[in-house]
A and B are shown apart, each in its own frame.
Chain A
Amino acid sequence: GAVVSQHPSRVICKSGTSVKIECRSLDFQATTMFWYRQFPKQSLMLMATSNEGSKATYEQGVEKDKFLINHASLTLSTLTVTSAHPEDSSFYICSGLPGLAGFEQYFGPGTRLTVT
């Protein structure tokens, strides 16, 4: 149980375009989803916390107008990277939190974004 999917797994886009990444909890309802990015050989850095039906909470230093997060249902959150630049190239991972209590986040397989 506790499976999270992400789509697409890889995406290449041109500088200046926007890219949408979907995160779905397949067998549980996630009132809270999280978005992380990971640079090579580095840790996972939390970008934002997404709560169903409300605005996302962004971590310090993360531009909310650049990384648009929508959590429209209990099983789907989307991250849109707007006006992408090469420095946005990274590995983006989402996670879902089953239930309102507990701390075990279940992660998706990640999306490799390359901006050319």
Chain B
Amino acid sequence: DQQVKQNSPSLSVQEGRISILNCDYTNSMFDYFLWYKKYPAEGPTFLISISSIKDKNEDGRFTVFLNKSAKHLSLHIVPSQPGDSAVYFCAASAHQGAQKLVFGQGTRLTINP
């Protein structure tokens, strides 16, 4: 039962363009969503988060959009840089869920020069 899904295992984007990573969830109890970036053999690094009371949160080059009715969120990175190449995980949590995170499968983003 995959409650958080990232249907694109990989994405390739040209440097300077916008990268859009997508994530869908099924559990309507989720009310907090996070994006993490991960390099091989390292732990995930927190990027940005959004509460279900918002539909957008922006931090520098990173913007997360949340569509609650569609149970969908996306991470926009603009402009994309070579250092953005990594695996991106979305994660979700329910306020009543003891702060546990449920992760998607990840999307490998490659930024081409």
Kindly identify which residue among A2, A44, A57 contacts B44, using a CB–CB cutoff of 8 Å. Answer: A44
- Give the distance in Å from the alpha carbon of A109 to the alpha carbon of B40 in the complex: 10
Which residues from chain B contact A43 at a C-beta distance below 8 Å? 89, 103-106
Known: A46-B100, A103-B93. A108 touches B43 (CB 8 A): yes
Which residues from chain B contact A97 at a C-beta distance below 8 Å? 99
Tell me how far the C-beta of A21 lies from the nearest C-beta in chain B, rounded to whole angstroms.
13
Tell me how far the C-beta of B107 lies from the nearest C-beta in chain A, rounded to whole angstroms.
11
- On whether the beta carbons of B32 and A103 are closer than 8 Å, the reply is yes
Question: A67 within 8 Å of B by Cβ?
Answer: no
- On whether the beta carbons of B43 and A32 are closer than 8 Å, the reply is no
Q: Which of A1-49 contact B (CB under 8 A)?
A: 2, 4, 6, 32, 34, 42-46, 49
- Give the distance in Å from the alpha carbon of A91 to the alpha carbon of B34 in the complex: 21
Interface size class on chain B is: 20 to 34
Question: B70 within 8 Å of A by Cβ?
Answer: no
Question: A70 within 8 Å of B by Cβ?
Answer: no
Which residues from chain A contact B49 at a C-beta distance below 8 Å? 103-104
- Give the distance in Å from the alpha carbon of A43 to the alpha carbon of B38 in the complex: 11
Which residues from chain B contact A46 at a C-beta distance below 8 Å? 100-102
- On whether the beta carbons of B89 and A4 are closer than 8 Å, the reply is no
Tell me how far the C-beta of B31 lies from the nearest C-beta in chain A, rounded to whole angstroms.
9
- On whether the beta carbons of A107 and B100 are closer than 8 Å, the reply is no
- On whether the beta carbons of B99 and A103 are closer than 8 Å, the reply is yes
Known: A43-B105, A43-B106, A44-B89. A106 touches B46 (CB 8 A): yes
**B48's closest neighbor in chain A, by CB?**
A104
Which residues from chain B contact A6 at a C-beta distance below 8 Å? 43
- Give the distance in Å from the alpha carbon of A32 to the alpha carbon of B99 in the complex: 9
Q: Which of A72-115 contact B (CB under 8 A)?
A: 91, 93, 95, 97, 102-110, 112
- On whether the beta carbons of A95 and B43 are closer than 8 Å, the reply is yes
Q: Which of B42-67 contact A (CB under 8 A)?
A: 42-46, 49
Which residues from chain B contact A2 at a C-beta distance below 8 Å? 46
A residues lining the B interface (CB < 8 Å): 2, 4, 6, 32, 34, 42-46, 49, 57, 91, 93, 95, 97, 102-110, 112
> Can you list 18 A-B pairs with a CB-CB distance of less than 8 A?
A6-B43, A32-B99, A43-B104, A44-B103, A46-B101, A46-B102, A49-B98, A57-B98, A93-B43, A103-B34, A103-B49, A105-B46, A106-B46, A107-B36, A107-B44, A109-B42, A110-B42, A112-B41
